[in-house]
Structure 1
Amino acid sequence: MSKKILIIDDDSKNIFALNATLKTKGYQCLAAASAQDGIILLKNEPGIGVVLMDMMMPDMDGYEAIEIIRRDDAFTDLPIIAVTAQAMVGDKEKCLAAGASGYVSKPIDVDILLKLLGQYLN
């Protein structure tokens, strides 16, 4: 199983922090600053094991992006973890209903994220 993670987030500070944290844990990270770029990267970069998807982005949000990714037969089982500042009652369920495999709220608890990644990548 690949330890390659695709981070899709419109905030470069979030990408930087996630990338730095995950690299120290032995993960290889790729990043896209928009959902459109993330989908292109996903299709062109073999071996991505998990996608960390920011749910609130301009142009195309994470919900729409997950729907597009899930329509591709190659990615129906790809683990997608929703990463969002939306932490109200029902937000986790909304993300899972949209096709996310897991959910973590911002600010990210690294221990929770690593536990989720461990479920999908090990």
Structure 2
Amino acid sequence: MTTTPNAKKVLIVDDDTRNIFALSLTLRSKGYACLSSTDAVKAIDMIQQDDSIGVVLMDMMMPEMDGYEALGRIRGNKQIQDIPVFAVTAQAMPGDREKCLEAGANAYISKPVNVDLLIDLLNTYL
């Protein structure tokens, strides 16, 4: 599968470059275009500047601004409030999924990422 010129991009936001590398490699092999950021503030700027970003994969535990605060800022910004954001986190304790969804995430994916589940979600939202 190849990406079309107007294909929506996936923005991966994670402070661990190894996670970005692994997710990008997997998604690109499936035909998705990927962008990345190791910083939530920069990621929000990227979303505002690039309307071809179709989905954000947001790590919830990052220094500086975590995914919960980033979600709050995205949902509070009229320009970008409707972009689908998937919470991608190693937090898999009871209640974590609900906490992410209540914060404004469209979906919750625990690490290590189930690629089949992620692809199904991407196909639903893109």
- Give the structure-2-normalised TM-score: 0.92
User: Using the alignment, how far apart are the partners of 1:56 and 1:118 within structure 2?
Assistant: 25
User: Using the alignment, how far apart are the partners of 2:93 and 2:7 within structure 1?
Assistant: 32
Residue 59 of structure 1: aligned partner? 64
- Does residue 47 of the first structure (1) align with residue 52 of the second (2)? yes
The answer to whether the Cα contact below 8 Å between 2:11 and 2:57 also exists between their aligned partners in 1 is yes
The offset of 1:47, in angstroms, is: 1.0
User: Using the alignment, how far apart are the partners of 1:46 and 1:98 within structure 2?
Assistant: 23
Partner-residue secondary structure (3-state), 1:10: coil
Partner-residue secondary structure (3-state), 2:63: coil
Number of corresponding residues: 121
User: Using the alignment, how far apart are the partners of 2:30 and 2:83 within structure 1?
Assistant: 21
Structure 2: gaps (5+ residues): 1-5
The offset of 1:76, in angstroms, is: 2.1
User: Which ranges of 4 or more aligned residues in structure 1 deviate by more than 2 Å?
Assistant: none
Picking from 68, 74, 83, the partner of 2:88 is 83
Identity among equivalent positions (%) equals 57
Q: Deviations over 1:19-60 (max 9, x none)?
A: 000001111000000111111111112211000000000011
Residue 116 of structure 2: aligned partner? 111
The offset of 1:2, in angstroms, is: 4.2
1:4-83 equivalences under 5 Å are 4-83=9-88
The offset of 1:77, in angstroms, is: 1.7
Structural RMSD (CA): 1.1
Amino acid at match of 1:37: K
Structure 1: gaps (5+ residues): none
1:89-100 equivalences under 5 Å are 89-100=94-105
